[in-house]
Amino acid sequence: MKAAVLYGVRDLRLEDVPKPEISDNEVLIRVNACGICGTDIHIYRGEWKTNTPIILGHEFSGVIADVGREVKGLNVGDPVVAEPNIPCGSCYFCRMSERNYFCENLEATGVTVNGAFAEYVKVVASNVYRLPKAYNLDEAALIEPLACCVRGIDQAKIKVGDTVAIIGAGPVGLILLQLALQSGASMVIQTDMEDSRLSLAKDLGADHTINVTKEDPVESIKELTGGYGVDVAIEAVGKPEAITQAMRATRRGGRLVIFGVSPEDAVWKVRPFELYDKELTIKTSYRSPYTFQRAVKIAVSGLVRLKPLISHVFKLDEIHGAFEVAEKRLEGAVKVLVKP
């Protein structure tokens, strides 16, 4: 099969490799589409370490091409998505209910084991979710980031009527926006550096948008909330400056969710007095523990619109161009999909 194999920093090669061989509890998926995630870009740049050579790609949809002998309830031809995270099931954290993603032996399809920038990917059957035939399979490639956002919105504990600020209007910020509205936010304010992303945020229901290159987001958010700041702020950028903006835009006694993943060596400078004075609740959000099933329901029910987030679709042969567009956010890129 054709696959994009990463050999090292920015060394991505299109190759013919053997089709994955499945074991009794695994499923072979013919890939329909795979999204490029910030994680892929970090690994591609050498900012996050993984074992190479590897086929990246963990945000994928496809159709089942083969099932192992012990697999029940899944059949060849089923349209599916799959959760990438593979906990071991027997370490200290795995035995502590929802903390399974702190697994000491955690593997992940497309991160530590071969993923879906390829014609086929194999996945353990218990990670596979069947979709209705009518659901758009390109859109389905965004169910994985949606599952991570469901965790983030759970951490935000939005109450009906809360005012919410989302810092950043990338794919994840735009999903969090929709989840905040569905959670009963009375007003959602979205910030970003790109007008094109902000106009998409408006289309998806943001009440106010702020271009941080043109106005001070903290001042503007305070103005929009009677001088107090929002009840809940969610940082969806992955930069210390964005966390500071989110913190300052939150009212006294409010909640701050640090959702974006900053580079491993980034440092957040904060005056502890500011946190003391506000008595903030600060939450972080790690992957998608037990949220994938809900993400499938949210997507399939239409509660969240994923299609408008797909800005580019590339063929697997054009994966170098696809990575360039995603990395440099060319042409108003939001979510870039790669299709074999």
Nearest approach in angstroms of CB 325 to Zn ion is: 17
Nearest approach in angstroms of CB 281 to Zn ion is: 26
Of the candidates 136, 192, 135, 185, the residue with the CA atom closest to the CA atom of residue 162: 185
Nearest approach in angstroms of CB 277 to Zn ion is: 35
| Closest to Zn ion by CB, 39 or 114 | 39
Q: Is 261 within 8 Å of 238 (Cβ atoms)?
A: yes
Residues near Zn ion (CB under 5 A): 37, 39, 87-88, 91, 94, 103
| Closest to Zn ion by CB, 86 or 166 | 86
| Closest to Zn ion by CB, 27 or 141 | 141
| Closest to Zn ion by CB, 103 or 236 | 103
Nearest approach in angstroms of CB 136 to Zn ion is: 19
| Closest to Zn ion by CB, 172 or 232 | 172
Q: Is 117 within 8 Å of 34 (Cβ atoms)?
A: yes
Compute and round to an integer the Cα radius of gyration of the chain.
20
Nearest approach in angstroms of CB 144 to Zn ion is: 6
| Closest to Zn ion by CB, 199 or 262 | 262
| Closest to Zn ion by CB, 65 or 177 | 177
Nearest approach in angstroms of CB 103 to Zn ion is: 3
| Closest to Zn ion by CB, 207 or 327 | 327
| Closest to Zn ion by CB, 87 or 152 | 87
3-state secondary structure the chain: CEEEEEEECCEEEEEECCCCCCCCCEEEEEEEEEECCHHHHHHHHCCCCCCCCECCCCEEEEEEEEECCCCCCCCCCCEEEECCEECCCCCCCCCCHHHHHHCCCCEEECCCECCCCECEEEEEHHHEEECCCCCCHHHHCCHHHHHHHHHHHHHHCCCCCCEEEEECCCHHHHHHHHHHHHCCCCEEEEEECCHHHHHHHHHCCCCEEEECCCCCHHHHHHHHCCCCCEEEEEECCCCHHHHHHHHHHEEEEEEEEECCCCCCCCCCCCCHHHHHHHCCEEEECCCCCCCHHHHHHHHHHCCCCCHHHEEEEEEHHHHHHHHHHHHHCHHHCCEEEEEC
Nearest approach in angstroms of CB 329 to Zn ion is: 16
Nearest approach in angstroms of CB 110 to Zn ion is: 8
Which phi and psi (to 5°) does residue 41 adopt? -65, -45
Nearest approach in angstroms of CB 231 to Zn ion is: 28
Of the candidates 33, 198, 52, the residue with the CA atom closest to the CA atom of residue 121: 33
